[in-house]
Amino acid sequence: MRSLTGQVAVVTGGAGGLGAAICLGLAEAGCAVVVGYNSSEGPARALAQDLPAATLPHAALKAPVTDSAALAELARAVQARYGRCDILVNCAGTTKFVAHADLDGLDDALFDQILATNVRGPFAAVRALAPLLRAPRADGATGLVVNISSIAAVTAMGSNVAYCASKAAVDNMTKSLARALAPAIRVLSVSPGLADTDFVKSLDVCWRDEQASRTPLKRLALPQEVADAVVAAATHLRFTTGAVIPVDGGRPLA
């Protein structure tokens, strides 16, 4: 694996189940990791302290993706601390279980919150960090944005209608940004199936088992496998941009 030693990665939603695995994977590959958080300051700071040491120190910084002014401050803090940002992983997201047929249950406030966090948030993070991501590097490498999407973008099955729509928008936005920001910045989506995070493990066991049985590989995605895809985008897939990388066990085939 090509080393990411000396590079700096910012991970929004870094203290969550998938975010923490991604932070660990990037740190193991040599990155200094900025664990971005909104309300989870304690877990984010603990994670930053526990990550494997890199040539540059890890950090936990506030990164509320629905607040563009705060993201601009995040970019200034990353510039001041590191002088660079090589990788941005947009992992922050939100949802709530609402049956797709329950139109009244998906009220305007929840719909707007999901779109603001899951769609506008990644765009705002890219906008704030783009000057650092597009800065020339001695090795000629590009900056990299990885948006964490979901197979709900394709299957239209997920926690609610707005969530599915938001992830479809993320995949489309990935392609638009890949075209707009090339050649200085590559943009990809990593699209997991249902991942076996602590949150998912806390749900009904029969429901989890049913979801696994509907997947051709007969299990859920591991958070580490999602992290592996992010790291691969940085270390191996260097001529790939505008792509959606599935980590779903073949679920859309079922």
The whole-angstrom separation of Cα 14 and Cα 168 is 22
Per-residue pLDDT of the chain (254 residues; tens, 9 = 90+): 678 999 999 999 999 999 999 999 999 999 999 999 999 999 999 999 999 999 999 999 999 999 999 999 999 999 999 999 999 999 999 999 999 999 999 999 999 999 999 999 999 999 999 999 999 988 888 999 999 999 999 999 989 999 999 999 999 999 999 999 999 999 999 999 988 888 788 778 888 888 889 899 999 999 999 999 999 999 999 999 999 999 999 998 88
Q: Domain 8-253 belongs to what topology?
A: Rossmann fold (3.40.50)
Can you tell me which residue has the tokens 């992010």? Answer: 230
Whole-prediction pTM: 0.95
Can you tell me the distance from the alpha carbon of 121 to that of 92, in angstroms, rounded to the nearest whole number? Answer: 8
- How far is the C-alpha of 198 from the C-alpha of 211, rounded, in Å? 16
Omega of the bond prior to 122 within 30 degrees of 0, cis?
no
Residue 62: enclosing H or E segment and its boundaries?
Answer: strand 59-62
Q: Where exactly are the structural domains of the chain?
A: 8-253
Give me the pLDDT at residue 203, please: 75
Active site (catalytic) residues: 163
What DSSP line would sit under 104-170, residue for residue? TTS-HHHHHHHHIIIIIHHHHHHHHHHHHHTS--TT-PPEEEEEE--THHHH--SS-HHHHHHHHHH
